[in-house]
Every structure is written in C-alpha cells, then in structure tokens.
Amino acid sequence: MIEKGNAIPSVRVKLIGADGETTDTTSDAILGTGRVAFFAVPGAFTPTCHVNHLPGFVANEAKLKAAGIDRIVCASVNDVHVMKAWAEASGAVGKIEFLADGNGELADALGMSKDFSGSLMGKRFVRAAMLVRDGVVESVFVEDAPGVTATGAPAILMALEANPS
C-alpha cells in the first residue's frame, strides 16, 4: 500500500472536474499539484458511500479549503458515466472532483484494491483517504472495519489541524 513520502503513480483515469465536464487524464496530473484531500470509496451510489462518506466532504468543502486544501478528489472503481451521475445527484459538482477508475488500475497502483466478489461487486477500492501535497503522500487513512470513521471529512479536518499547511 502507498505510504507517507511516496509519489502518486501515473495511471490513466477519467476526471469529472469541478465544472462537471469529463476529460481523460492521469492520476499524477490530478493529484500532483497543490494540497489534495483524496478519498476512495468502494462504489458510487452504494449505501455507505452515498449516505455516509461523500456527503461529509460535500458539507465540509469550505472548511477543508479554509484548512489549506486546494482540491477534493473522490475515486471509485466505476465507469465515468456512473461517477458523473453520482456527482450530479449528490450536489457535489463544483465542490468535489471525481476520478473514474473503471479498470481498477489506480486502486491496484496505490495498493488499495480489494476483491468484493463475495458481494458481486468485483475489484474495488478499499475505503481510504489521503492527504497529498504536490504529488507526494503526506498521510494515508484506511478503514479497518465497516463504516466511515478514519476516512471521513471530520477525520481529515482533524488531521489538517494537527498538520497545517
């Protein structure tokens, strides 16, 4: 798994930007400039991700930016169409950018992939978050049990207070 001090790998992804437009890009291009709050979820529209994880980042966008975050990025192993629909349905457009990791290549490159075949979901991201500055990982947070505690917006805000920009 990626660790503090590691550089973000370069993997092809699709970005749904703050303007709601979709572009082809790479993970290092998105996470490589400024200070980024990155969080990864097992699936768009899945109950915990949709109800407990994403809404906290949407609600705390201004606080995260006031704490020194330049961009907030959410990733999932879903296709770009699902990720765009999720961004729109969640009211996140203009606040959070979304990376569609359709093949799970970024999840693999970060060492954050998990086999959810038992739930008929295939390979997905583990529930995780990172603080990244100019393409280098500052902190990594991974949930060790179901739910959102270590990787939610409140935990990221606490980490930022402990390590301000």
Mean pLDDT, the chain, integer = 95
74 is catalytic: no
Could you say which of 11, 31, 49, 110 is catalytic?
49
Q: What is the pTM of this model?
A: 0.95
Structure tokens at 79: 């296709």
Residue 51's pLDDT band, with cuts at 50, 70 and 90, is confident
- Please, what are the domains in the chain? 12-143 (3.40.30.10)
Residue 91, pLDDT > 70, answer yes
Q: Tell me the C-alpha distance between 36 and 56, whole Å.
A: 16
| Of 107-116, 117-126, 132-141, 156-165, the least confident | 117-126
